[in-house]
């Protein structure tokens, strides 16, 4: 299978204007993203995983290194982002939010309608098409954000801690929904989280990152059958391994701060 | 009728009845405080003679023109200054120095520059409206969650599309706050600009009646100004509900 996205020796340095300091957010990130995989970027907060996602999305520029989409054909944007705080347009209804991408790309109205209906069905929001975001629960808002990201038919969906703002039950339901939608659409998911459980439940591959500077510590293949459950032995063992690795990192990060 | 509405109507009626009674029993001099019914009669007479409708028409013409010019300029400049750093830098010293000046204080200058006719009055009103709308529009733009702009760019929007589809609707609730304040300012300024050097308008009618000590007619003018204020608020609220159906009030 050919590589969908290549990251080569990516680095990002933030300069803080107020103090004149510079902070290394990312260092030596080299990674291949394969088509159709569910890649989880896992790491403690401050490890630069969100920054990495923004760079892949083209919303930030790397200080060094390269991003390549080897099989890129045409000029269509290859990624779409789902943000932690939903980032829905409050003045647009569910349908109007979903069609934002096709609308700015001047897709004909009839086609937009069809896309919207299909995606609203996919994320199970039928009957809520004319609601405004503030009339929806957090979980429903995130479903809208997912449908909106899918509307541009990107090759890669980028998730920036999409479930972090939700309560535990809703999060659990949406984790299953994400696994279902990933399987149904066959899209490539790149998913940032600091939740070990989420990584084990969802990922086909987990990229464990270190903090300050953000580097790749280890890449772990997850060959567990789906649907997964944290109460099963294999999942529990994987969780424990990750927990040990991550705890080291958090400790290092805290020591670096003091 | 809800108890709340009953209390509101009751309180209004009570004041009006007591007021009317105080005048009729000779406790209040109509020269200073004409009775409610006398004011109504005066308004009726002024309406029949055509003086009041004409005055309202002349003043509304000035208010609407000044308001529309000021509001449009305020919205455009406010959006640009809120969204684009260098525009804000260019405008900032002007806003900072002109905003605190009561715009009525500029009226003599505008008289000098633009003459005694309508333009000087319309410009005074426009300038008063402009600053309120501009400052509120800017606040609106700056209050937009930057994540929404990011999301729009991520979905493929151009800079212009971000402006039209994110910045403008995002600032709309604050723009309406500015418009409401601006409408109030427009009524204040039309009155002030009609006191001197004019021969028509609601402010002129009111001031002339005062000079003739026709207190009933002064009151008729005051009440009409009040009605105009209520009417403009209603119109703006109606437009706001139409254009911002998502905003809860």
Question: What was the ipTM of the complex prediction?
Answer: 0.89
**Residues in B touching A148 (Cβ below 8 Å):** 155
- DSSP strand pairing (A216-221 vs A205-209): antiparallel
- Angstroms from B109 CA to nearest CA on chain A: 43
CATH number at residue B176: 1.10.3720.10
Does domain A5-78+154-257 bear CATH number 3.50.50.60? no
Residue A91: pLDDT band by 50, 70, 90 thresholds? Answer: very high
Mean pLDDT of chain A: 90
Q: Which residue has the higher pLDDT, A70 or B4?
A: B4
Q: How far apart are CA B152 and CA B150, in angstroms?
A: 5
**Residues in A touching B164 (Cβ below 8 Å):** none
Torsion sign across C-alpha atoms A62, A68, A69, A73: positive
Q: Are residues B51 and B172 in the same domain?
A: yes
Q: How far apart are CA A57 and CA B154, in angstroms?
A: 7
User: pLDDT at residue A75 above 80?
Assistant: no
User: pLDDT at residue A41 above 60?
Assistant: yes
pLDDT score at B1: 78
Beta-carbon count within 10 A of B5 CB: 9
Q: Are residues B71 and B91 in the same domain?
A: yes
Residue A227: pLDDT band by 50, 70, 90 thresholds? Answer: confident
**Residues in B touching A104 (Cβ below 8 Å):** 152, 155-158, 161, 165
Interface of A with B (CB under 8 A): 57-59, 77, 79-81, 83, 85, 87, 89-92, 100-101, 103-105, 132, 134, 148-149, 152
Choose among B194, B196, B220: nearest CA to B209. Answer: B220
What pLDDT digit, counting tens, does each position of A176-220 carry?
A: 999 999 999 999 999 999 899 999 999 999 999 987 788 898 999
A187, burial (CB in 10 Å: exposed 0-12, middle 13-18, buried 19+): buried
**Residues in A touching B242 (Cβ below 8 Å):** none
String of DSSP letters for chain A:
---SEEEEEEEEEEEETTTTEEEEEEEEEEEEEPTT-EEEEE--TTSSHHHHHHHHHTSS--SEEEEE-TT--SS---EEEE-TT----TTS-HHHHHTHHHHHTT--HHHHHHHHHHHHHHTT-TT-TT--GGGS-HHHHHHHHHHHHHTT--SEEEEESTTTTS-HHHHHHHHHHHHHHHHHH--EEEEEES-HHHHHHH-SEEEEE-SSSB-EEEEEE----SS--TTSHHHHHHHHHHHHHHHHHHHHHHHHH-
User: pLDDT at residue B64 above 80?
Assistant: yes
Beta-carbon count within 10 A of B70 CB: 29
Residue span of the structural domain in which B22 resides: 1-33
Q: Are residues B130 and B29 in the same domain?
A: no
Does residue B186 lie in a domain region? Answer: yes
Residue A74: pLDDT band by 50, 70, 90 thresholds? Answer: low
User: pLDDT at residue B249 above 80?
Assistant: no
Q: Give me the residue spans of the domains in chain A.
A: 5-78+154-257, 88-153
Q: Are residues B29 and B46 in the same domain?
A: no
pLDDT score at B26: 87
Q: CA of A185: how far to CAs of A123, A147, B125, in Å?
A: 11, 12, 59
For chain A, give the longest Cα–Cα distance: 58
Q: What are phi and psi of B131, to 5 degrees?
A: -65, -40
Does residue B248 lie in a domain region? Answer: no
- Angstroms from B167 CA to nearest CA on chain A: 11
pLDDT score at A20: 83
- Beta bridge partners, A79, equal A156
Of B155, B246, B248, the CB nearest to A100: B155
Tokens of A97: 């939010």
Which residues, other chains included, contact B39 with Cβ-Cβ below 8 Å and sequence gap of 6+?
B216, B219, B220, B223
Q: Which residue has the higher pLDDT, A94 or A225?
A: A94
Residue A8: pLDDT band by 50, 70, 90 thresholds? Answer: very high
Q: How far apart are CA B183 and CA B46, in angstroms?
A: 25
User: pLDDT at residue A233 above 80?
Assistant: yes
pLDDT score at A97: 97
| Least confidently predicted of A10-14, A74-78, A229-233, B47-51 | A74-78
CA dihedral B47, B49, B55, B60 (to 10 degrees): 50
Does residue B135 lie in a domain region? Answer: yes
Q: What is the pTM of this model?
A: 0.85
CB A104 within 8 A of CB B161: yes
B50, burial (CB in 10 Å: exposed 0-12, middle 13-18, buried 19+): exposed
B interface test, pick of A80, A87, A150 with most B CB neighbours within 10 Å:
A87
Residue B137: pLDDT band by 50, 70, 90 thresholds? Answer: very high
Q: Are residues B121 and B11 in the same domain?
A: no
| Least confidently predicted of A2-11, A66-75, A235-244 | A66-75
| Least confidently predicted of A24-28, A121-125, B95-99 | A24-28
Does residue B249 lie in a domain region? Answer: no
Q: Are residues B143 and B197 in the same domain?
A: yes
Q: Are residues B27 and B38 in the same domain?
A: no
Angle between helices B36-48 and B51-83 (to 10 degrees): 90
pLDDT score at A24: 87
pLDDT score at A73: 65
Beta-carbon count within 10 A of B180 CB: 18
**Residues in B touching A59 (Cβ below 8 Å):** 150, 153-154
Q: Are residues B156 and B219 in the same domain?
A: yes
Q: Please compute the mean of the pLDDT values over residues B84-90 and round it to a whole number.
A: 94
Task: Say yes or no for a CB contact (<8 Å) between B156 and A81.
Answer: no
B88, burial (CB in 10 Å: exposed 0-12, middle 13-18, buried 19+): middle
pLDDT score at B222: 96
Of A91, A101, A103, the CB nearest to B246: A91
Total domain count, chain B: 2
Choose among B225, B222, B245: nearest CA to B233. Answer: B225
């Amino acid at each position: 299978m050919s590589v969908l996205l290549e990251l080569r020796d990516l680095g990002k340095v933030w300069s803080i204007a107020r103090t004149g300091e510079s902070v290394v957010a990312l260092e030596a990130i080299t990674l291949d993203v394969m088509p159709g995989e569910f890649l989880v970027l896992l790491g403690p907060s401050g490890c630069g995983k969100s920054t990495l996602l923004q760079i892949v999305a083209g919303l930030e520029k790397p200080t060094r290194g390269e991003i390549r989409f080897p099989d890129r054909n045409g000029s269509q944007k290859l990624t779409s982002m789902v943000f932690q705080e939903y980032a829905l347009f409050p003045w647009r209804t569910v349908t109007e939010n979903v069609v934002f991408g096709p609308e700015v790309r001047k897709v004909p109205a009839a086609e937009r309608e069809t896309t919207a209906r299909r995606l609203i069905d996919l994320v199970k929001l039928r009957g809520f098409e004319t609601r405004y975001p503030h009339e929806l629960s957090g979980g429903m808002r995130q479903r809208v954000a997912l449908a909106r990201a899918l509307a541009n038919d990107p090759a890669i969906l980028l998730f920036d801690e999409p479930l972090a703002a939700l309560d535990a039950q809703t999060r659990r339901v949406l984790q299953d929904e994400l696994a279902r939608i990933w399987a149904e659409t066959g899209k490539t998911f790149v998913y940032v989280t600091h939740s070990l459980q989420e990584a084990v439940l969802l990922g086909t591959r987990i990229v464990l990152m270190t903090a300050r500077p953000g580097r790749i510590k280890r890449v772990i293949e997850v060959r567990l059958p789906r649907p997964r459950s944290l109460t099963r032995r294999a999942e529990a063992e994987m969780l424990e391994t990750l927990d040990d690795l991550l705890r080291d990192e958090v400790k290092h990060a805290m020591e670096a701060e003091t | 009728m809800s108890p709340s509405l009953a209390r509101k109507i009751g309180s209004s009626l009570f004041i009006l009845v007591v007021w009317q009674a105080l005048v009729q029993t000779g406790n209040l001099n109509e020269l200073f405080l004409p009775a409610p019914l006398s004011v109504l009669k005066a308004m009726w007479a002024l309406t029949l003679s055509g003086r009041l409708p004409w005055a309202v028409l002349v003043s509304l013409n000035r208010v609407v023109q000044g308001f529309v010019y000021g509001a449009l300029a305020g919205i455009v400049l406010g959006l640009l200054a809120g969204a684009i750093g260098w525009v804000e830098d260019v405008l900032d010293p002007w806003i900072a120095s002109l905003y605190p000046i009561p715009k009525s204080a500029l009226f003599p200058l505008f008289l000098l520059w633009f003459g005694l006719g309508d333009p000087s009055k319309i410009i005074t009103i426009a300038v008063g409206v402009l600053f309120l709308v501009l400052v509120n529009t800017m606040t609106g733009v700056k209050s937009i969650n930057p994540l929404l702009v990011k999301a729009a760019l991520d979905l493929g929007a151009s800079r212009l599309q971000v402006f039209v589809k994110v910045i403008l609707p995002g600032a709309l609730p604050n723009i309406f706050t500015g418009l409401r304040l601006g409408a109030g300012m427009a009524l204040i300024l039309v009155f002030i600009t009609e006191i001197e050097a004019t021969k028509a308008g609601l402010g002129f009618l009111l001031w002339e009646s005062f000079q003739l000590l026709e207190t009933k007619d002064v009151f008729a003018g005051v009440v009409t100004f009040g009605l105009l204020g209520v009417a403009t608020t209603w119109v703006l609220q109606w437009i706001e509900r139409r254009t911002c159906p998502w905003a809860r009030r």
